[in-house]
Structure 1
């Protein structure tokens, strides 16, 4: 049993109405992991967070967040080709949309057998600049786990990017409203990691990276900064211990590949790679 974070109970039709009169995006905005996002420019709460930024195999500029941030059965779990669901920088909604939602997993579906697929794909507008550097975390590519256990979402044979971290010996470093935290992966249920690394409502979709053994952990001495490959996104606070859940990047990338293979013309986000831009 778990409690959802930041479920924005808005229909995409209402989101389109709210965004229709927004200003056109101008040049120069940097989009990065840890950026807080809105789905209507007229309300600063509730909100979600970007977990990773990069490009897909089709050349689309992509941001990844949590699927449960939206709820509309008419649009859930399918490609959204029209710009009906704009996304805004919470710190600067007047800039206009930084992108548009192309896919999200409906939260009701996530409760009934699709818990492993809680993600959202946002196609970013051409006017923004991609960055691998968030407020606390620099993402150095996508996590690869040679020979590890495959995500349940993976078409077989699974790729190294679709394999899961072992529990008890790997640490996640995450960031959100309260700063940056790290903690061991204590449990792994279908590619959903549980860790003492903390999050709050609104951090949904936010970044988690793998702590590379021997690399610096965030501390006062290094400005609470850390670097590592993208390992997942914030999912939920639960009643279990430790209470904080994260959807693995392996689950997201595997599901994207499976959906891409089954969809004529492909899907946004397939073959996602974290940007190398600073």
Structure 2
């Protein structure tokens, strides 16, 4: 059984923020996919990873990560409008918060099971700059599959970006602590992809893109730099083969749209689109 990456009591987050200070570095800090994030300056080794950066339909600047990075039943599966859950760049905690958690969903067993709603929404602060370019992956919009099977989270009719990649014929390219990897989607159970593309503890929430047929795969020839549409985020791994699980972007986007439709004033992240900024 895999240990949770981070147990966070959001009621203590205000104390953490004060302890870290409020001073900010120069504006323009770049936030991008594969950036490692922490939720308390005092626990830098309990970290997760950003999967995608962009904006929502309400104009919020948003980053997406994994919901299981936080565990607090008081705040789970609800909007968090107050700045009580800061998020820090693990490599630059002194900058102060790069954003605040606005929503997370952490169902029991989310890392090892096929739970479809394992994601987190972070609203980024105005002092940062959004970027589509991570250390290895450049994200070019979102996966759109007009004829694909709809995510189980999708309202009817499903949008193209709420449809799933078929197993056996599609590959994921992922980025994490050990570099960049790719592997065929061997299984798709309710929008959770199983692939040989490697991930490890701490990579949860990190980026996965779709290998568009005919485009480059990472290799020494291209410096392991590749591009493609956002396909999902790292979820975890199990004893099954291949062991690595990814929550599809279709599941996340569909659930955001469904929750937005059911909420009078809307939800953070609804209509999320990956930034086009370099």
State the TM-score, normalizing by the size of structure 2.
Answer: 0.96
Structure 2 residue runs without a partner (length 5+): none
State the TM-score, normalizing by the size of structure 1.
Answer: 0.96
Aligned residue in 2 for 1:51? 51
The equivalent position to 1:19 in structure 2, one of 3, 17, 20, is 17
What CA deviation, in whole Å up to 9, does each residue of 1:173-230 have, x standing for no partner?
A: 0000000000000000110000000001000000000001111100111111110000
Is the CA contact 1:132–1:275 (under 8 Å) kept in the aligned structure 2?
yes
Give the 3 Å change call, closer, same or farther, for CA 236–113 of structure 1 in structure 2. Answer: closer
* Equivalent runs, 1:54-93 vs 2, <5 Å: 54-93=54-93
When the two structures are aligned, how many residues end up with a matched partner?
276
Distance in 2 of aligned mates of 1:81 and 1:101: 9
Aligned residue in 1 for 2:35? 35
What CA deviation, in whole Å up to 9, does each residue of 1:129-178 have, x standing for no partner?
A: 00000000000001100111000000000000000000000000000000
Structure 1 residue runs without a partner (length 5+): none
* Equivalent runs, 1:1-278 vs 2, <5 Å: 3=2, 6-22=4-20, 23-26=22-25, 27-108=27-108, 110=110, 115-278=115-278
Q: Offset of 1:46 from its aligned partner?
A: 1.0
* Secondary structure of residue in 2 paired with 1:247: strand
Is the CA contact 2:116–2:192 (under 8 Å) kept in the aligned structure 1?
yes
What CA deviation, in whole Å up to 9, does each residue of 1:20-71 have, x standing for no partner?
A: 2323333121000000000011221110000000000000000000000000
Distance in 2 of aligned mates of 1:24 and 1:149: 48
What CA deviation, in whole Å up to 9, does each residue of 1:252-272 have, x standing for no partner?
A: 000000000000110000000
